[in-house]
Amino acid sequence: MGLSSFIQDNFVPHIPRSSEQVHRTQTSEIGAVGSSPAQEDKKGEVSSIHSTVSYSSRDSSNHLHRSLRGRHVQLLGIGATIGSALFVAIGQALPYGPLNLFLGFLVWSLPILCITITTAEMVTYLPITSPFVRLAGRCCDDALEVMTAWNFWFLCCAQIPFEVVTVNSIIHFWRDDYSAGIPLAVQVVLYFLINIFGVAIYGEVEFWLSLGKVVLAVGLILFTFVTMVGGNPKHDAFGFRYWRDPGPISSYEFTGSTGNFRGFLACLIRATFTFAGPEYVSLVASETINPRKTLPSAYKQVFIRLTIFFIGGSLCVGILVPYNDPLLLQSQGVTKPGAGGSPYVIAMQNLGISVLPDIVNVLLITAAFSAGNSYTYCSSRTLYGFALDGYAPKFLTATTKSGIPMYCMLISLAWSLISFLQLGEGASEVLNWIINLITSCQLINFSILCFTYIFFYRATKAQGIDRRSLPFRGWFQPYLAIFGGSMAFIMIFVGTYGIFMPGGWSYKTFLFSYLMIFIDIGIFIFYKLFRRTKFKRAAEVDLVTGLKEVEEHEAWYYQQLEAKNQLSADGEIKRTWWQRVCEVLFGSEMR
């Protein structure tokens, strides 16, 4: 490949023609399933090994490449959710007591479970580009889709500069005799390069970065266990000592029993910012190999792993550090450089351990870098899916030959330039505003996910679709969706209740906590009035467009496996011992 061809394939986007199809599906429809040209005349009719004949239409707008395997999808979902907050910011809630912290994360895991199950059922059925965003328009109202897309795009974009600044802050753990602009610029360039050279390269890079987060999370849980039973330089088997002295609950800045409850609320609010997940798995649906087999396993595995890490992490920091530790209290309201603000590092310093803080610091850099990389990917795909439906300028649908939505990626990555505010005064204040915006956007997004599912559920019943035939069927629906959505909606307002308490009013906090609510309502009303949209009737909801592309991909995929002699006589995949190990660790796209 010459230089000109390399540049043409990877850096020059083009707007696809409306009749253009994904390359691999152009040749697979007949060869894979043995259909004849006469059968092609039956509109939308196609068979595949894993589906009966369906009268579905193809969503020919998916010009992305299905290159991500099960291990990629799972660790991409984990990587987008686990950032520095799990290892550093989690300590901000510890002064309210280890029991409050543990209960806060435990309680919030229940709505996250409901939201994950709800999202999984919709997306695994129709794994199209930006699925939960576009399903909001298909199942509910086009105005809701527009509002959802902008809300989620803003959520992803706002987190890019947050993670970029976090990486620079971590580097200051070692030295600060350099311009903060240098690492900021280097990180932005690296995000660009990783995201420009095809989704397979992005998936591989993010896989290893996310694996580093998993190693760090598991390593710190093991560190907690070893040290609490006496495996530390002081040979002190302290166990749950700090749950007894100074105690499990603290009112901290509040007083009395009311103060204890407000301490629990503070921990629950911290969990809503830290604990997320299902929407990031959804974003890779249109670029996943064999999605209707890969995604159900991915959703289950990601939730289980994240629950272990977040709930386990909240338990570990309460074991390692007392809530009244002087170093911990000094870090409240102050961002200490690098890993210095992490309760794990505080515990290492208290125990006289000198090497591990540097190791934790290196892994924290990969954690924050990986999270920012994931948000760059998610934001660009959201904007791309938005443009495909005509809700953004047409030039945003342009992709390179390697399947990268170039303009969407550049516009989303431009948000990282906000990180350069760190070079001036007030940068930390601006980032605190961004955190408030992120939390409100995330909770609004969860509420919309569950609201959309209720309409999806009604549509399947009205159109006679047996939910037992879906790739994944949630339990106790639609009640779990109602519970999860209601909890997320309530927490939008509970999260900032403090500004309505005596002496707590701040117009800046109010503005940046509720800004996205006003913006979202404004977008919804404006588009609804401008386009005169109406909520869809259950019988009229489009639940078939896009299925044909998925079915053709499945047929093509299994044809490739059969050609490579990787399918057994009964249609099962042939696995080596190593592949079986990976199936246990990362799930399987064949299950």
Q: What is the pLDDT along the chain (591 residues), one digit of tens a residue?
A: 566 665 655 566 666 665 444 343 333 333 333 333 333 343 333 333 333 333 344 444 444 555 556 556 666 666 666 767 788 778 888 888 899 999 999 999 899 889 988 988 888 888 877 788 888 888 899 899 899 888 988 888 888 887 887 777 777 777 777 777 788 888 888 888 887 776 666 667 767 777 777 888 889 999 999 999 988 888 888 899 999 888 888 876 667 777 888 888 888 988 888 777 677 677 666 667 777 777 777 777 777 877 888 889 899 999 999 988 888 877 664 445 544 567 888 888 888 888 888 888 888 887 778 778 778 887 887 788 778 777 788 888 888 777 788 888 899 888 888 777 666 654 456 666 777 778 888 899 999 999 999 999 999 999 988 888 888 888 888 999 999 999 999 998 888 887 887 777 877 778 878 888 899 999 999 999 988 888 989 898 888 887 777 777 667 776 766 676 666 666 566 667 766 666 665 555 444
Contact 222, 447 (CB under 8 A): no
Tell me how many degrees the CA angle 160-332-217 measures, rounded to the nearest 5. 55
Burial 209-231 (b: 16+ CB within 10 A, else e): bbbbbbebbeebbebbeebbeee
Beta bridge partners of 285: none
- 27: buried, middle or exposed (CB in 10 Å: 19+, 13-18, 0-12)? exposed
Tell me the HSE value of 390 on the side-chain side, using a 13 A CA sphere. Answer: 6
465 three-state secondary structure: coil
Selection from 466, 475, 494, 416 nearest residue 183 by Cα? 416
Separation of alpha carbons 449 and 119, rounded Å: 7
Domains of the chain plus CATH, in order, are: 70-489+507-536 (1.20.1740.10), 546-590 (no CATH)
* Structural Rg of the chain based on CA atoms: 24
H or E segment and range at residue 51:
strand 51-55
- What pLDDT was estimated at residue 133? 81
Q: Residues with Cβ < 8 Å from 182, sequence gap 6 or more? A: none
- What pLDDT was estimated at residue 586? 55
- 242: buried, middle or exposed (CB in 10 Å: 19+, 13-18, 0-12)? buried
Separation of alpha carbons 287 and 322, rounded Å: 45
Tell me how many degrees the CA angle 242-246-252 measures, rounded to the nearest 5. 115
Task: Indicate left, alpha or beta for 477 from its phi (over 0: left) and psi (-120 to 50: alpha).
Answer: beta
Phi, psi angle pair for 343, to nearest 5° = -60, -25
Separation of alpha carbons 161 and 157, rounded Å: 8
Tell me the HSE value of 313 on the side-chain side, using a 13 A CA sphere. Answer: 29
Separation of alpha carbons 285 and 67, rounded Å: 11
Reading the block at residue 234, the tokens are 């002081």
* Location of structure tokens 């399903």: 135
